[in-house]
Structure 1
Amino acid sequence: MKDTDLDYTIVFPDPSLLAPLDTCKSPVVILLGWGGCKDPHLAKYSDIYRNQGCTVIRYTSPWTAAFFSESFGRKTLRLYAKNLLELLFDYEIEKSPIFFHVFSNNGVMLYRYIVQLLRCHRQFCTLKVVGTVFDSGPGNRNVLGSLRALNRILTSYTNVVFRIILLLLFSVMVVVYRILLYPLTRLFHESHYDVMKKDFSSWPQLYLYSKADKIISAQDVEEMVEARRKYGYRIEVVVFCSSEHVSHLREYPAKYTDACTCFLMSCLQCPPEPHHPKY
């Protein structure tokens, strides 16, 4: 189902399927796609949760916002985050347990604003988030990995000459604004990575990543995991040996599906304490 303001898809569970544990409202799983992701790609992940009796919302924010607007400190993704959370009220599913599945940095950049709204926005502070899965992210200031990701996206959109020009402009922008000038620019716009390292969300998190990922460094994910565990939060990891960026489900379908479903069930069994709003 589509909306003119937000290009999303919502899928409701088969009425014959019981909600997980049969003790709560049907959970709502929100999938935040990677840069350049198409809805049919997310549909494969959607099936994992729909088969568990969940309502699933699929959404991928514009890659231009993640690669360019965020790099210049423009918080355009915040509006997308707000519109996405408002869907829960539009469909009257705001009282259901909420579960996020976030892909790569494109998803994480949107997720950072969702977390901020959950803590600070009066309408959203009552939403009950039970857990988050991070697939192939988050990554820190990896210029080479970012160029690889952008090149993969541009391949299907532009000709070779224009693609090279955009890649050069992007690399210069990242080096200047996100590396050389970052001690200054972070004062008004911290990177998504630094924000998520000190995020106070108390619900459990599962990190799915690969040692063979050439876009998001496994070391970046491991540093994030270590930083989150220092706060005493429940953090789980599943490491894949040979799968490429956001390709773990394709390479290890059984392992991936089991990890997501088991984590979902555990989050529903042991929901976190509600977060306290800050107006």
Structure 2
Amino acid sequence: MDRPAFIGNLGKGFGIGGGRGGGGGRCGRNSSNRWGEFEHFSKALIPSVVASGRPSFDGYIGEDVAVERTAFVTQYNSPAFVNNSGRPVVVILSWMGANRKNIAKYTEFYRERGCDVYFFLNNVGHAIIPIESRRQAHRVIETLSSIPQNRPVFVHAFSIGTGVYGYAVDMMRNKEEQFKHVAGVIYDSGPAMIFPSDVAKGLHLVCPSVSKKIWRVVANAVFTVTQARKNFRVAEDALAESQLAHAPQLYVYSKDDTIINEVQSSIGHFIEQNRRRGIECFSKVFEKSKHVMHLRYHPDEYMENLGRFLQNCLERHDRSLIAGEQSARAAAH
């Protein structure tokens, strides 16, 4: 099967939020404005949660949702693809507060290897409000469904993006044939079972001028109002019990991740559960690279592992297509 220049130069090159090095969103850091910033944030977030389920941050924490192809930006409900080229497609689900600049280094990596790239930017609402996570997951499903079946698809989910994908997996139940073109899934700094304390730590990384104590109050309040713990369990269970059986998984995380509690046992739970279902799972564990910051601290090793995984998945996908074509011809005779 013809494939664009994808490999060669492989070495070049539900967690919560991104630290400064990971590219989290910015908010003011002047301590004299600390309470004013929190008041502005809470007024934007809490009333909209109760009234409409759709938070508004005035663009100050992170953008709501963006889906971008390599050369242009398109809305999530627009036709996603205008050709049937067979080129690989990568769908990136960002960490909390990430922007286009933060994601650029990843999209560049994939573009250099012949892939089309779409990405979803996740904000605070997607981290702590279940209905927002579900809406984002629905957009992901729409995008995956719009991709022709002959185009291998990779999902690359970071931090809270893994939780969004968990809701998408729940929506895929009993529809594996529809998503057989998903060739592999990469989890960066996740998934994990999410609790208010974890969310508060992520919020503080994104907006450190608001104290950890205040963020804990916010996280606990929102989790109570939205019954987030109960609702997020749906996504977590899907990631442990219902993932696409044909799509290999790569988990990348660091032992010094301070956002996810007991990171190794937490992520290890999902790896173990999926291996029990017969899914091929790989992992790359760094000693020191913090939450969603592996590319910054270990660029060559990170890209080499990512490239090797993509190559293996593409070869597996091609073999599956050939076997399917041969079976179809045999049945026709």
The answer to whether TM tops 0.5 is: yes
TM-score normalized by structure 1? 0.75
Given candidates 130, 134, 139, the residue that maps to 1:83 is 139
Percent identity between the aligned chains?
Answer: 28
Structure 2 residue aligned with 1:171, among 216, 220, 245?
220
Match of 2:201 among 148, 169, 173: 148
One-letter code aligned to 2:304: D
Residue identity matched to 1:81: A
Aligned to 2:156: 101
Amino acid at match of 1:79: R
Kept in 2: contact 1:95–1:127 (CA 8 A): no
Find the counterpart in structure 1 of residue 280 from structure 2: 234
Q: Which residue is 1:258 aligned to?
A: 304
Cα distance in 2, alignment partners of residues 121 and 229 from structure 1? 20
- Cα drift, residue 39 of structure 1: 1.4
Structure 2 vs 1, CA of residues 141 and 61 (structure 1 numbering), >3 Å: closer, same or farther?
closer
User: Structure 2: how far apart are the matches of 1:33 and 1:270?
Assistant: 26
Conservation of the 8 A alpha-carbon contact between 1:141 and 1:178? no
Give a deviation string over 1:16-60, Cα, whole Å, max 9, x none.
xxxxxxxx8110001100011111111111112111100011112
C-alpha root-mean-square deviation of aligned residues, in Å? 3.3
Query: Which residue among 191, 206, 210 is the counterpart of 1:160?
Result: 210
Residue 136, structure 1, aligned to residue 174, structure 2? no
For residues 227-257 of structure 1, what are the alpha-carbon distances to aligned partners after superposition, in whole Å with 9 as ceiling and x for unaligned? 1111111000011011110000000000000
Q: Distance in 2 between matches of 1:226 and 1:138?
A: 13
For the 8 Å contact 1:108–1:138, the answer to whether it is kept is yes
**Structure 2 CA distance, aligned partners of 1:38 and 1:198?**
31
Contact kept in structure 2, 1:29 and 1:56, CA below 8 Å: yes
Q: Which amino acid aligns with 1:114?
A: A
User: 1:53-68 alignment to 2 at 5 Å?
Assistant: 53-67=114-128
Count of residue correspondences: 243
Runs of 4+ in 1 over 6 A off after TM superposition: 175-179
| Unmatched tracts of structure 2, length 5 or more | 1-63, 72-84, 322-333
Q: Name the SS for the 2:118 alignment partner.
A: strand
Instruction: Give 2:238's aligned residue.
Output: 195
- In structure 1, C-alpha distance between the alignment counterparts of 2:210 and 2:257, rounded to whole Å: 25
**Matched residue, 1:8:** 67
Q: Is the 8 Å Cα contact of residues 6 and 84 (structure 1) preserved in structure 2?
A: no
Q: Which residue pairs with 2:46 in the alignment?
A: none
**Any gaps of 5 or more consecutive residues in structure 1?**
13-23, 275-279
Matched with 2:167 is 113
Distance 1:251 1:237, change over 3 A: same
Partners of 1:209 and 1:240 within 8 A in 2:
yes
- CA pair 80-95 structure 1, distance change in 2 beyond 3 A: farther
SS at match of 1:193: helix
The match for 1:40 is 101
Structure 2 letter corresponding to 1:8: V
Name the larger-Rg structure: 2
Taking the aligned partners of 2:223 and 2:194, their CA distance within structure 1 comes to 8
